[in-house]
Amino acid sequence: MHEIFVSMNNWFQTMGVPGLAINSCVESFFLIPPPDFLLIAMDLAKPEKALYYATVCTIASAIGGVIGYLIGKFGGRPVFNFLFRKNHDKFDAVEKMYEEYGSFAVFFSAFTPIPYKIFTIASGILNMNFIKFFLASLVGRGARFYLVSIVLMFFGEAVKKYLELVILAVTIVIIIFCVIVYKKRHSFLKTKEVKVKNDDN
C-alpha cells in the first residue's frame, strides 16, 4: 500500500498545480495520499508561491468535500460501508461527534489528521445542513493548508520535520477554544430555555 501511495504522489507531482488540485479534491472522498506531501514539496521548491498553492489546495479540497457529501446523501450507509469496509464501525463515532459538536466536528476533521473523507460522506448520510458543512470544510481545510504554507514560506526546510507538531499544537488550542465556546453557548441556550418555560408558567 505504501508503494502505491508513493507512486500516486509522484504521479500527481509530475502534473504540477493541476496535480495538486486533483490530489486535494479526490482525497476528500476517496482513499489516496493526502495533499500535504505534495503541498510541502511545492512550497519548499517555490516558497514565493506558497500561498497560491494553499489556495489551490483549499478550494479543490472543499469541492471534493461537496462531492463526498453528495456521495453520502445519495449513496447512504451501503456506500460508506463499501468505501470504508475496514472502518465502517467509525460511522457511529462520527455520528456521536455530530450530536455533540455539530459543524465543529467537520471543522476538526478538516483541520486535523482525522480522515476528512469519512466525515464528508458521513455528513451527507446524516443530512447535515449543507451550508454549515461547506463553511466548516472551507475554514478547516483552509486553516490547515495555509498554516503549512505560511510556516514553510518563512522557515523552509528547517521546520519541515516539525510541521506535524506545529499542526498538533495549533489543533489542540483550536479544539479547546471551540469546545469552550460550544459549551458556553449550549449552557446559555439551556438557561434561556428554562427561563422561557418559567415565564410561561
Q: pLDDT tens digits, residue range 177-201?
A: 666 766 776 665 566 555 555 555 5
Is the distance from CB of 145 to CB of 61 less than 8 angstroms? yes
> Which positions ≥6 away from 35 have C-beta within 8 Å?
20, 23, 24, 27, 57, 60, 61, 145
Is residue 192 assigned to a domain? Answer: no
Does residue 98 fall inside a structural domain?
yes
Question: Is the per-residue pLDDT at 55 higher than 90?
Answer: yes
Burial class (CB in 10 A: 0-12, 13-18, 19+), 1: exposed
Task: Kindly tell me if the per-residue pLDDT of 8 is higher than 90.
Answer: no
- Residue 61 pLDDT level (bands cut at 50, 70, 90): very high
Number of domains in the chain: 1
The range of the structural domain enclosing residue 54 comes to: 2-160
What are the cell numbers at 100? 455533540
Residue 10 lies in a domain: yes
- 63 belongs to a structural domain: yes
Classified as helix, coil or strand, 34 is coil
Mean pLDDT (the chain, rounded)? 83
Q: Which ranges in the chain belong to alpha helices (H)?
A: 2-14, 17-26, 36-45, 50-83, 90-101, 103-111, 116-125, 130-155, 157-160, 163-200
How many C-beta neighbours within 10 Å does residue 2 have?
7
Asked if residue 13 has pLDDT above 80, the reply is yes
pLDDT of residue 201: 56
Q: What is the pLDDT of residue 60?
A: 97
CA–CA separation, 110 vs 107, rounded Å?
5
Is residue 197 situated within a structural domain?
A: no
Q: Enter the pTM of the model.
A: 0.80
22 part of a folded domain: yes
pLDDT, greater one: 61 or 34: 61
Residue in 199, 142, 135, 144 with CA at minimum distance from that of residue 167: 144
Contacts of 70 (CB under 8 A, 6+ apart): 124
Q: What are the C-alpha distances in Å from 148 to residues 39, 95, 132, 151?
A: 8, 29, 24, 5
Q: Is the pLDDT of residue 155 over 80?
A: yes
More confident position, 80 or 5: 80
Percent of the chain with pLDDT over 90: 36
- pLDDT digits over 82-138, tens only? 877 766 677 788 888 887 777 778 888 888 777 888 889 999 999 999 999 999 999
The answer to the question of residue 179 being in a domain is no
Which of 10-19, 43-52, 83-92, 95-104 shows the lowest per-residue confidence on average (mean pLDDT)?
Answer: 83-92
85 falls within a domain: yes
List phi, psi (to 5°) of 86.
-90, -10
